Amino acid sequence: MDVLTIGGVDIKPGESKKVQLEMPPLYTDTHMSIPVYVQRGKKPGPTLFVSAAIHGDELNGIEIVSRLIRSKSIRNLRGTLIAVPMVNVYGVLNQSRYLPDRRDLNRCFPGSKKGSLAGRIAHTFLTEIVAKCDYGVDLHTGAIHRSNLPQVRANLDDEQTLVLCKAFGLPVMLNADIRDGSLRQAAADLGVRVVLYEAGQALRYDEFSIRAGLKGVTNIMREIGMLNKSRSKKYHSIEPFIARQSGWVRAHESGLVHHIASLGDHVVKDGVLAIISNPYGEELGKVTSPAEGIVIGKQNIPLAQEGEAMYHIAYFKKPDTVAENMGLLQDNMVQDDLVQGNAPMVY
């Protein structure tokens, strides 16, 4: 393996280093940088980036990357791990999804060296990190006041990407179109296969989502040969299911919301998801599912404006089986705690 250079720092095989990728300074002359942790194995292998907080209010991924860096499992790494706990540092500082110029960084790739603030950051991340990798895992959560069921999204028509998604180990896989200006699109143009992990909500840590994400990233590293295959017993086999269609159910009235459906619920056509009432407690109407599926995203606050997205439903051929496998995923987490001697989590 050759010497890898990131941000002007050379990292040789067998070395690990922390690198600070410089970003444009603020108008206060405050200088900021993207923190990057690089660990290279002594033996050759693929190069994988794991990134979090492209949206600055999506914090679960920061903790996933932190735990991955501290994990004993990566001590005998083959190839190179490039871990980026926060890409949009400005957004993390401001607890905001966006950059100071109100741009969404994940719509500004591939960016430009001489472009806007967002364009420059996108260009730096793409050229210094993504372009030097074979694979990537990008970590996300739901938007503010919304939660996502743990799920992976990717181009599942690509066979190699599909293998990575299955290895992640979640029941829900969403075949997601690549959006213009997204990191996934820019990475695909470079031949880098990226899996996007969605779980939890903005500005909150969710332990189950963090644990599932960490395990999924580790599973991918085992699948591509960066880590040894696990010898531990698989307590329950989790069958992944692909959703090729999904959609948001919107409020048809403005009012106060009594949520009935929860994340992971199997819902039937015309099943009641929520009831909307006025401030006097009088029912204005019911929010119903347009088809059978699984709730993979939902609004959390008990307020709704007419036309507002409330429930994200994924459509599967066997949605009841998907719901059962979400329960198996939780069981596996509990079994992991018992084997490792930890206090079992309460979900």
Report, in angstroms and rounded to the nearest whole number, the Rg of the chain calculated over CA atoms: 21
pLDDT of residue 12: 97
CB 47 within 8 A of CB 80: yes
Longest dimension (CA), the chain: 70
> What is the per-residue pLDDT for 347?
40
> What CA–CA distance (Å, rounded) separates 60 from 205?
5
Distance between CA atoms of residues 216 and 164, nearest Å:
10
Of all helices (H) and strands (E), which one includes residue 175? strand 172-175
What is the structure's pLDDT at 30?
Answer: 86
**Cα–Cα distance between 326 and 169 in angstroms, integer?**
11
8-11 — which CB contacts under 8 Å span 24+ positions?
A: 11/38, 11/40, 11/80
Whole-structure pTM value: 0.91
Predicted confidence at residue 338, as pLDDT, reads 47
Tokens, residue 320: 């009841």
Report mean pLDDT in 10-residue bins for the chain, 347 residues. 92 97 88 96 97 98 98 94 97 96 95 94 98 98 95 95 95 90 97 98 96 97 93 63 93 97 94 98 97 95 96 83 64 58 47
Q: What domains does the chain contain, in order, with CATH numbers?
A: 4-223 (3.40.630.10), 245-319 (2.40.50.100)
